[in-house]
């Protein structure tokens, strides 16, 4: 009887959605969080909420303008974009996104124009209508972005009802964090806004952490295949990095720092919350593609220095900063988002 040797070879597959896709989901998540921060004040006509609502409008607009640029860059050939209009496919979420995203950005521009320039006190009926439209379109964008990932049958991690609430909660945490950074770096900003922002920051960070733990718990109890994939990602794919960066620096540390109300600490808290929102997307997106479709082991990914990697990440952040500075320069003195 001859001995037989069976060799199992795991063929690694390249990452198809790279850092540009992560940047799109990061910036669109911040924009949706900004709408959540801003729209309720104008829809409910609560004058006391307007100081941080104006800050939310600024966050929603600036990040909402960067997100489509990252999405077009992810297409590698931006001219492909017009194909969505020439060949509309009702069964494709990407086809719907080609219409939803421009409508969302256009509504953000109207919202910012109305809230920051024409009606800083939020009393006009048009402001309420535009804020409501922005909220509805933000919900549609959240559904589109979550469904765009969920339809990929080969990625078990992404086929989950947990994905949209996790992205929304972490996006809100990042948006409030960005608001804290902008507010903290503005000279003469109203200090009375900070306690409210810190409470929102603590609540959104805690919610993000609880949702991630519940998602993983569902996997541990074998109630969710995507939860099981999340656990495998956490324990087998660079667990120390993900644990320390996501939960340590990105969620727990800024959550603790919200207890300290100091301008410098607030900026640090906001930056760490932004990092946490980014790490959620990086881990789910890049790590999710690292989970093998078949075979053993993970598909490795090393962040390149090119425009498809680190340069692209830094470039999108630089674009956001440039847009913020231009809009800040154009804002009337009475419409500064951090003013009461």
- pLDDT, one tens digit per residue, over 299-329 is 666 777 877 778 889 999 999 999 999 998 8
Cα 58 from chain centre: 15
pLDDT at 12: 55
Domain boundaries of the chain, sorted by first residue: 14-151+302-331, 159-300
- The pLDDT of residue 167: 92
For residue 88, pLDDT over 90 is answered with no
Mean pLDDT calculated for residue range 85-108: 84
Question: What 3-state class would DSSP assign to 176?
Answer: helix
Kindly indicate the confidence band of residue 123, based on its pLDDT and cuts at 50, 70 and 90.
confident
Higher pLDDT, 208 or 97: 208
- Cα-based distances in Å from 212 to 153, 163, 167, 209: 22, 9, 10, 5
List, as own/partner pairs, every contact residues 132-136 make where C-beta atoms lie below 8 angstroms and the sequence separation is at least 24, other chains included: 132/39, 132/43, 133/107, 134/35, 134/38, 134/39, 134/60, 134/104, 134/107, 134/108, 135/35, 135/39, 135/43
- pLDDT-derived band at 153, boundaries 50, 70, 90: low
Contact between 59 and 178 under an 8 Å Cβ cutoff? The reply is yes
Q: What value does the mean pLDDT take over residues 58-77? A: 88
Residues 82-93 as b/e (b if ≥16 CB within 10 A, e otherwise) read: eebeeeeeeeeb
Whole-number pLDDT of residue 340: 36
HSE (side-chain half, CA atoms, 13 Å) at 259: 4
Residue 338 is predicted with a pLDDT of 41
Least confident span in 60-74, 76-90, 172-186, 201-215? 76-90
Q: How confident is the model at residue 127 (pLDDT cuts 50, 70, 90)?
A: very high
Q: Residue 148: is it exposed, middle or buried by C-beta count within 10 angstroms (0-12/13-18/19+)?
A: middle
Share the mean pLDDT of the chain: 84
Please state, as a whole number, how many other Cβ atoms lie within 10 Å of the Cβ of residue 235.
11
pLDDT reported for residue 239: 64
Q: Which fold has domain 14-151+302-331?
A: Formate dehydrogenase/DMSO reductase fold (1.20.1630)
Query: Residues of the chain with pLDDT > 70: what percent?
Result: 85
C-beta separation of 290 from 298 below 8 A: yes
| CB 251, CB 272: distance < 8 Å | no
295 has pLDDT over 70: no
Q: Find the length of the chain.
A: 340
Judge whether residue 175 has pLDDT over 90.
Answer: yes
Q: Is the pLDDT of residue 6 over 90?
A: no
277 falls in which pLDDT band (50, 70, 90)? Answer: very high
Question: Which of 173, 158, 142 minimizes the C-alpha distance to 284?
Answer: 158
Give the HSE-up count for residue 65: Cα atoms under 13 Å, Cβ half-sphere: 19
Cα–Cα distance measured from residue 231 to residue 235, given in angstroms and rounded to the nearest whole number: 6
């Amino acid at each position: 009887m001859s001995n037989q040797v069976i060799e199992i070879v795991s063929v690694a597959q390249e990452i198809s959605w790279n850092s540009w896709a992560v940047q799109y989901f990061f910036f669109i998540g911040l924009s949706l969080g900004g709408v959540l921060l801003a729209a309720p004040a104008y829809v409910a006509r609560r004058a006391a909420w307007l100081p941080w609502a104006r800050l939310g409008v600024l966050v929603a607009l600036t990040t909402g303008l960067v997100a489509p640029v990252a999405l077009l860059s992810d297409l590698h050939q931006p001219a492909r974009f017009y194909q969505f209009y020439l060949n509309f496919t009702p069964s494709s979420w990407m086809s719907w996104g080609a219409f939803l995203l421009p409508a969302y950005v256009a509504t953000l521009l109207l919202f910012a124009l109305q809230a920051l320039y024409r009606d800083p006190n939020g009393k006009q009926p048009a402001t309420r209508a535009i804020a409501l439209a922005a909220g509805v379109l933000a919900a549609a964008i959240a559904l589109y972005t979550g469904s765009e990932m969920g339809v990929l049958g080969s990625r078990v991690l992404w086929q989950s009802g947990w994905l949209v609430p996790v992205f929304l909660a972490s996006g809100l945490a990042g948006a409030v964090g960005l608001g804290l950074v902008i507010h903290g770096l503005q000279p003469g900003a109203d200090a009375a806004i900070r306690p409210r922002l810190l409470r929102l920051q603590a609540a959104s960070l805690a919610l993000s952490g609880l949702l991630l733990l519940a998602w993983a718990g569902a996997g541990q109890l074998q109630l969710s295949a995507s939860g099981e994939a999340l656990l495998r990602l956490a324990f087998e794919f660079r667990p120390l990095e993900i644990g320390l960066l996501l939960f340590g620096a990105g969620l727990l540390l800024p959550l603790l720092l919200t207890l300290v109300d100091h301008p410098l600490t607030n900026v640090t808290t906001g930056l760490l919350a932004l990092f946490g929102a980014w790490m959620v997307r990086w881990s789910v997106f890049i790590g999710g593609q690292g989970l093998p479709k078949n075979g053993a082991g993970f598909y490795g990914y090393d962040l390149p220095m090119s425009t498809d990697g680190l340069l692209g990440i830094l470039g999108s952040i630089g674009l956001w900063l440039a847009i913020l500075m231009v809009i800040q320069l154009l804002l009337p003195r009475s419409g500064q988002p951090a003013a009461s």
